C-alpha cells in the first residue's frame, strides 16, 4: 500500500466540499472535484464519482443547495452552493478539526522526558 496517499475519511470530504463552496461560490460537481484535487496536490486520491455521494448527503442535510444552471461549455449542469446552515456547520467543523490537529501535533512533537 502506498504510504503517501491518504484515504479520505467521510467527514473530511464533507468538510472539504463545504470549504470549497464557501471559498469559490456556486460550483458543479466536476468543479468541486477538480478544486479538491488541485488544493491537495493530488496527495488525496478521490474517485471523482464519490463526490456525488457526498453531495447528495449534504443536500439532504440542507447544508448545501442544488440548482440547475449552464456550465462553462454551455451544458445544463447542477450547481451547488453553501447554505446558512452549511456555513454554521463549516465553522463548527473547522474549529473541531483544528483542535484535533493541534492535539495530535503536540503529541507527535513531544519526545518524552529528557
Which residues contact other proteins by CB under 8 A? 28-30, 33-34, 47-50, 52-53, 56-57, 59-63, 71, 73, 75-78, 85, 89
> Residue with C-alpha cell 464519490?
50
Q: Distance between CA 3 and CA 8 in Å, rounded?
A: 13
Least separation in angstroms between CB 4 and other proteins: 19
Report the residue number, 84 or 114, with the smaller CB distance to other proteins.
84
CB of 101 to other proteins, least distance (A): 23
Vertex 25: Cα angle to 24 and 27 (nearest 5): 90
Shortest Cβ 61–other proteins spacing (Å)? 4
Please say which residue, 92 or 105, places its beta carbon nearer to other proteins: 92
Nearer to other proteins, 16 or 29 (CB): 29
Q: How far is CA 76 from CA 55, 57, 68, 72, 105, in A?
A: 18, 22, 7, 10, 45
Amino acid at each position: 500500500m502506498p504510504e503517501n496517499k491518504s484515504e479520505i475519511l467521510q467527514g473530511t470530504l464533507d468538510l472539504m466540499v463545504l470549504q470549497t463552496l464557501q471559498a469559490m461560490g456556486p460550483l458543479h460537481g466536476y468543479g468541486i472535484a477538480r478544486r479538491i484535487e488541485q488544493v491537495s496536490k493530488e496527495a488525496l486520491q478521490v474517485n471523482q464519482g464519490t463526490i456525488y455521494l457526498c453531495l447528495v448527503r449534504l443536500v439532504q442535510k440542507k447544508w448545501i443547495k442544488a440548482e440547475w444552471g449552464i456550465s462553462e461549455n454551455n451544458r445544463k449542469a447542477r450547481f451547488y452552493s453553501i447554505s446558512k446552515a452549511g456555513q454554521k456547520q463549516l465553522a463548527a467543523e473547522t474549529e473541531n478539526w483544528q483542535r484535533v490537529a493541534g492535539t495530535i501535533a503536540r503529541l507527535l512533537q513531544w519526545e518524552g522526558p529528557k
